[in-house]
Amino acid sequence: MKKLALALAFTGLAGGALADTNVALNGAVTLSATAGWGDSAGWGGGVLAAPATVTDGVFLAVGTQWNTGSVFWSGAVGVDAITVTLNQKSLVSQLLIQADNDNNYLVEYLDSSNLWQTAATLSPHRSWGLDNGSATLGSPVLTTAFRISGAAGAGDAQFSVSEFQAIGNVVAVPEPATYGMLGAGLGLLALVARRQSRKGNAGC
């Protein structure tokens, strides 16, 4: 029994589950080489925020003017895009955004073939200024990057994003020692099973 408990402990240490977290935190943010960035379409007070603020983990006060403290742009749907590169490959199950409330936002993820695939269309709460929206994905996606652009179906072609978060787990590459622990645990499990099988046969 002690050997069985020890074997289970080894395998548990090697493959323990991690709690969901914001895997986009402090991810690199780049803006497409297009002309719409910083265009407030006549709104005053707009100063384009640093792209890095999109992944700084900070939500602004709901109702903040759409072009204040955000990365904002004006233009046709799908032309301008924000790319968020994660620090590590991750399995993502939920997306959060704070953005201009009256628009929709297409979020795509980079698949294993380096092709962009649709993850979700996010719609912030329809209020005024910046507001929050979220989507739980039907199936988690494994990715290293996300791309955000304006989507059709609502709004005035004046877009902004102040925060983007991707909730999930980093897919860690096991250390060599972890493989050793896993192998030891599996070996002990096999040994225990073999001895129990022999005892069972001897008692027949």
What's the pLDDT score for residue 172?
80
Q: Dump pLDDT digits (tens) for 98-120.
A: 999 999 999 999 999 999 999 99
For the entire predicted model, the pTM comes to: 0.79
Which residues of the chain fall short of a pLDDT of 70?
A: 1-17, 173-204
Give whole-number Cα distances, 128 to 29, 115, 160, in Å: 26, 35, 13
What residues pair up with 94 in beta bridges, in sequence order? 136, 167
What's the pLDDT score for residue 43?
93
Q: Dump pLDDT digits (tens) for 65-109.
A: 999 999 999 999 999 999 999 999 999 999 999 999 999 999 999
Residues 6+ apart with CB under 8 A from 139: none
What is the enclosing helix (H) or strand (E) of 90?
A: strand 81-100
Which residue in this structure is represented by tokens 């792209």?
51
